[in-house]
Structure 1
Amino acid sequence: MTPALIDAAHTRAQGHLALTPLLNAPLLDRLAGRRIFVKAECLQVTGSFKARGGWAAVSALAGSCAGVLAMSSGNHAQGVARAAAAHHLAAVILMPEDAPEIKIANTKAWGAEVVPYNRATTDRDALAREIAERRGYAMIPPYDHPEVIAGQASVGLELAEQARAAGVSEAEVLVPCGGGGLAAGIALALATRAPGLRLRTVEPRGFDDMARSLATGTAARNARLSGSLCDAILTPTPGRLTLPLLQDLAGPGLVVSDDQALAAMALAFRSLRIVLEPGGAVALAAALFSPDLPATVICIASGGNVDEQVFTEALRRHPHQSHSPEQSPPAC
């Protein structure tokens, strides 16, 4: 991972991706007792930051393969499918059977072939290798891939400029984390462009493999592969590329509950008028409900591809929010 790789991915994406805004709502600041900025990647094309990594990887492969294969619960799926369609490449996406219907439907709408699998019983990686080898397709993993990380780093490049324009030179940047591709990319970009912004990962409770890995220095695994509303960031273990990068560049990981993510979704809608999915709301949840954070935090709202019933439940369960739905979770 080099600055040149990140800059090249950013250049290839010009005109194909959105520059997402950095938002602030005084009511959220008052509730949290700190200033909160939100980078709204939910407003990115395909509804999440994954469009960035998908475009970076596919555009780097264009002309060298007959098609691409990706594994995703939905956001990486849509990013790769969109980029493949734009580059006239076939795309096969392995998606878990319990992925949100909106993500499955949108992936198909971009022209990709969706192959469902069971999270608990299927060896996803073996299935992916078999299909890719049989068809001659290039595999694009969701996070442990240099071009994917380089593409996600563009969030950090934009954020460095936006924070500077807002007069913010020191803050903690809270990032939803599954395998760590987004967090690693942002951390790399900030290290050179905005060293006063320190990154911290945020995960759902019970699926905090990255937080535990950062605390111990060795890769941890989650005991379960499902069981949280935050489907977009449920991964078994940190990436081989992403963990060393975050060990060097990130602070301690944070953990939030599903209910806190739902509360953050409701508050984001009412205060900022943006729609978040549970996994995309965990950084905002940490900013709102975690203790011992600095006076200024920046949250990445990483995605908004939420099923209607889950979003409705968030609004129903949290009609008005003036305090944490649970006791604030500690840093790991």
Structure 2
Amino acid sequence: MTAHAPILPVTVADIDAAARVLAPVAVRTPLLPAPVLSERLGANVFVKPEVLQRTGSFKFRGAYNKLASIPESARAAGVVAFSSGNHAQGVAHAAQLFGMHATIVMPSDAPVAKRERTKAFGADVVLYDRDREDREAIARDIAGKRGSTVVPPYDDPYVIAGQGTVGREIAEDLSTLGLSPDLVIVPASGGGLLAGVSTAVKARFPGTQMVVAEPKGFDDHARSLRAGHREAHDAKGRTICDALMAAIPGEITFAINSQLLSAAIEASDEEVGRAVGFAFRELKLVVEPGGSVGLAALLAGRLDVAGKTVVIVLSGGNVDADLYAQLIA
């Protein structure tokens, strides 16, 4: 019997289409060699700095691709999104470029920098208590009253395809160098970036191991992979990785990631803090805690990468100045 590749909700063709949509507006972030990491780990390490993307994170890609898919007739009613900050800014800026109104439902404890930058892009911000209120219900209620389009942070084919352009660029740039990645490490909350990058990379390099990085205790992807179905983490309290606090993987994202992921790793807040400082001192990049978790896990020795070609996605750089000063001190 011949084995067939699984039919996934988002295809390489969808990611190629997203790349064409994004080409005039998104930054094609570089794939940077990291000699200091390579020497330290005995590997050939590259970083993909989405900190250099518009709005300071990969989220702009998926948001813009989603908004581009909204029919002209529906754009006047605007969009509504729910986010702790990076998706909020991505949607707000994409809406600004399309001349659409955006309302963003954000947790009251979201970093001030993320809230203020979201407002600066022209969006209205509605705050909620993440311990007592349902952000998605609030967003859908607002959208229902206005006839607006809801833009999910990860569980949407257009959003996933937009994020997948990160992986498409990684695959193209490595191919140009004549290299094949052994491992690609991607941080995850709901899993949209992970699903998109995995789809794009595995299409070009089927043998690549895709690795998800999560904050310690917020290990819903690791649990779900072990269980074979979506499973929530049982973390109590907070993590400095404010962008990575989703309780459970998305339905669409896990349908993809359950087929393409090879492993899961985690890093503690202390290890993440050290990685933020390492990125500042050694890579000369401002990376927020959530964007540093893959780097943190690698520096902590969670994977044996000796002799391998490794790519780490640094997913965002939006961090409050006070916290950043503490972490790099």
Same-fold status (TM-score > 0.5): yes
Structure 2 equivalent of residue 186 of structure 1? 197
Q: Write the letter of the residue equivalent to 2:37.
A: L
1:211 aligns with 2:222: yes
**What is the match of residue 6 of structure 2?**
none
Query: 2:116 matched to 1:124?
Result: no
Matching residue's letter, 2:145: R
The one-letter amino acid of 2:67's match is: V
Residue 41 in structure 1 maps to residue 50 in structure 2: yes
Is the partner of 2:165 in helix, strand or coil?
helix
Give 1:30 shift. 2.6
> Equivalent residue for 2:41?
32
Instruction: Note if 1:69 corresponds to 2:80.
Output: yes
The TM-score with structure 1 as length reference comes to 0.92
The number of residue pairs the alignment matches comes to 316
1:50 counterpart (59, 70, 89):
59
Aligned to 1:223: 234
Q: Name the CA shift for 1:306/1:246 in 2 (closer, same or farther; >3 Å).
A: same
C-alpha distance in structure 2 between counterparts of 1:222 and 1:242, whole Å = 16
Judging changes above 3 Å, is the alpha-carbon distance between structure 1 residues 224 and 122 closer, same or farther for their aligned structure 2 residues?
A: farther
CA contact under 8 A between 1:225 and 1:235: conserved in structure 2? no
Per the alignment, in what secondary structure is the counterpart of residue 318 of structure 2? coil
Unaligned runs of 5+ in 1: 317-332
2:50 touches 2:315 (CA, 8 Å); kept in 1? yes
Query: Aligned AA for 2:180?
Result: S
Moved more, 1-10 or 37-46: 1-10
* 8 Å CA contact retained: 1:287, 1:299: no
Q: Distance in 1 between matches of 2:276 and 2:303?
A: 22
Check conservation: 2:48, 2:311, Cα contact below 8 A: yes
Match of 1:240 among 226, 246, 251: 251
Q: What residue is the counterpart of 1:162 in the other structure?
A: 173
- Secondary structure of the equivalent of 1:17? coil
SS at match of 1:16: coil
Mapped to 2, the partners of 1:50 and 1:210 lie a distance apart of 20
Residue pairs, 1:183-332, within 5 angstroms? 183-224=194-235, 226-294=237-305, 295-316=308-329
The residue number in structure 2 matching 1:327 is none
Identical amino acids, percent of aligned pairs: 45
Amino acid at match of 2:267: V
Q: 1:62 to 1:273 in 2, by over 3 A?
A: farther
Q: Distance in 1 between matches of 2:217 and 2:32?
A: 30
1:293: how far off? 2.7
Contact preservation (8 Å) 1:23, 1:272? no
SS at match of 2:51: helix
Q: CA separation of 1:286/1:64 partners in 2, compared to 1, >3 Å: closer, same or farther?
A: farther
Aligned CA RMSD, in angstroms, stands at 1.3
The TM-score normalised by the length of structure 2 is 0.93
Between stretches 96-105 and 158-167, larger displacement belongs to 158-167
> Partners in 1 of 2:188 and 2:122 — Cα distance?
28
Deviates more, 1:159-168 or 1:280-289: 159-168
Please list every run of 5 or more consecutive structure 2 residues that lacks an aligned counterpart in the other structure: 1-9
User: 2:187–2:313: 8 Å Cα contact kept in structure 1?
Assistant: yes
* 1:192-214 deviations in Å (ceiling 9; x for gaps): 12323321110001111011101
Match of 1:92 in 2: 103
Does the aligned pair in 1 maintain the 2:154–2:193 contact within 8 Å?
yes
1:281-330 residue CA offsets vs partner (Å, 9 max, x unmatched): 011112222344333321000000011111111112xxxxxxxxxxxxxx
Instruction: Give the counterpart letter for 1:9 in structure 2.
Output: A
Letter in 2 for 1:181: G
Moved more, 134-143 or 194-203: 194-203
Q: Which amino acid aligns with 1:267?
A: F
Q: Give the residue type in structure 2 aligned to 1:68.
A: V
Residues 70 and 188 of structure 1: is their aligned pair in 2 closer, same or farther, counting only changes over 3 Å? same
